[in-house]
């Protein structure tokens, strides 16, 4: 039996625990959790039946695989506090952005992996980006890919691509939602229709478009071609998007990159 420990049961940690239990990847009795403020962990225990530990150290001592789900600037503190409780017998899976495999191996003796999930796992969709440290075994790979495969499509990547690919996966639900919100708001400005009506139409259309894209063999170009015929009305709108939106996404990626650099610098600042 593999015991999974989870430190940090905020938004990401609790989603992972719920999905692990729902998917049957782990039984509730095989998961032990700890959170800094007890209420969140207790709520999760109430909802899923997983076990709760009195400290992070207890979680490490009782688990084979440790999912570390605290914020990037908190990772080093947690790992250093764990000290000898985390050994090469453990597989450490950190979901923190900007904390590298090098950091994880510098701050703990465990075999390590990184995973960047997305909130889309709530619906069993989207991508979890994964990368493995040098000490990770084939069995570790299999376990991590199976775990995240039960709630998403896991994609193993080179570590240097985490930032740009995180924008395309983990950040993207917010980007897509913000874009669609602006689309609905523009229709309200233009016509005076009610915002809830505009948002309902856009939301339903987004879900339907996702379904079309998910249908085998359907790519973006095919969806565009089916709707935006040459000389037609939709084509005019697609042309505006193609003229104006590349600059928007270039700026988004430049700004998110700069933010990653800042967080990485802050993580380094905490290192004596
Ligand atoms: N949210 C996303 O969409 C997403 C996607 C991919 C990756 N991630 C990564 O997931 C990690 C967690 O993000 P989140 O959105 O879940 O943040 P969050 O909701 O703030 O959760 C972090 C949790 O860690 C707990 N915590 C902090 N220090 C701790 C310690 N020393 N011991 C035990 N628990 C501790 C916090 O407890 P308190 O209740 O006391 O604050 C909080 O519940 C981040 O590193 C982020 O980069 C997030």
Please report, for the chain, the start and end positions of each structural domain, with discontinuous segments joined by +: 4-161, 172-269
Query: Is the CB of residue 142 less than 8 Å from the CB of residue 118?
Result: no
Low-confidence ranges of the chain (pLDDT < 70): 270-272
pLDDT value at residue 156: 98
Distances (CA, A) of 107 to 61, 78, 86, 112, 158: 17, 9, 10, 11, 21
pLDDT value at residue 272: 54
Q: What fold characterizes domain 4-161?
A: Rossmann fold (3.40.50)
| Identical fold between 4-161 and 172-269 | no
State the closest ligand 1 atom to the C-alpha of 12, by its place in the atom list counted from 1: 16
99 CA to middle of ligand 1, Å? Answer: 13
In sequence order, what E strands does the chain have? 4-7, 31-34, 51-52, 65-68, 91-94, 111-116, 127-132, 153-156
Is 270 annotated in a binding site? The answer is no
pLDDT value at residue 138: 97
Q: What fold characterizes domain 172-269?
A: ProC C-terminal domain-like fold (1.10.3730)
pLDDT value at residue 216: 72
Distance CA 186, CA 245 (A): 15
pLDDT value at residue 67: 98
Whose tokens are 């962990």? That residue is 41
pLDDT value at residue 217: 74
For the question of whether the overall pTM of this predicted structure is more than 0.85, the answer is yes
pLDDT value at residue 1: 87
State the closest ligand 1 atom to the C-alpha of 9, by its place in the atom list counted from 1: 43
Answer yes or no: is the C-beta of 140 below 6 A from any ligand 1 atom: no
Helix (H), strand (E) at residue 31 = strand 31-34
Answer yes or no: is the C-beta of 55 below 6 A from any ligand 1 atom: no
pLDDT value at residue 271: 59
Chain centroid to CA 181: how far?
22
pLDDT value at residue 218: 78
Distances (CA, A) of 250 to 3, 148, 164, 230, 254: 43, 30, 11, 27, 6
């Amino acid at each position: 039996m593999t015991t999974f420990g989870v430190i940090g049961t905020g938004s990401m940690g609790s989603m992972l625990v719920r999905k692990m239990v729902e998917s049957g990847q782990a039984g509730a009795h095989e998961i032990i959790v700890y959170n800094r403020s007890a209420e969140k962990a207790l709520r999760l225990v109430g909802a899923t039946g997983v076990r709760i530990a009195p400290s992070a150290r207890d979680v490490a001592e009782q688990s084979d695989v440790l999912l570390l789900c605290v914020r990037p600037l908190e990772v080093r503190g947690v790992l250093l506090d764990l000290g000898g409780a985390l050994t090469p017998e453990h597989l450490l899976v950190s979901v923190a952005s900007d904390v590298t495999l090098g950091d994880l191996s510098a701050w703990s003796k465990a075999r390590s992996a990184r995973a960047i999930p997305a909130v889309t796992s709530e619906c069993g969709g989207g991508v979890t980006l994964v990368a493995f440290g040098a000490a990770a075994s084939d069995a570790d790979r299999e376990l991590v890919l199976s775990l995240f495969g039960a709630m998403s499509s896991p994609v193993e990547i080179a570590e240097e691509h985490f930032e740009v690919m995180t924008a395309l996966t983990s950040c993207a639900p917010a980007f897509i939602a913000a874009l669609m919100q602006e689309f609905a708001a523009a229709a309200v400005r233009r016509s005076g229709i009610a915002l809830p009506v505009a948002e309902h139409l856009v939301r339903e259309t987004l879900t339907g478009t996702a379904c079309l894209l998910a249908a085998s063999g359907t790519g973006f170009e095919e969806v565009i071609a089916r709707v935006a015929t040459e000389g037609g009305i939709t084509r005019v709108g697609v042309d505006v998007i193609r003229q104006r939106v590349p600059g928007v996404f270039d700026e988004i990626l430049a700004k998110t990159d700069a933010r990653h650099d800042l967080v990485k610098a802050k993580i380094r600042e905490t290192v004596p």
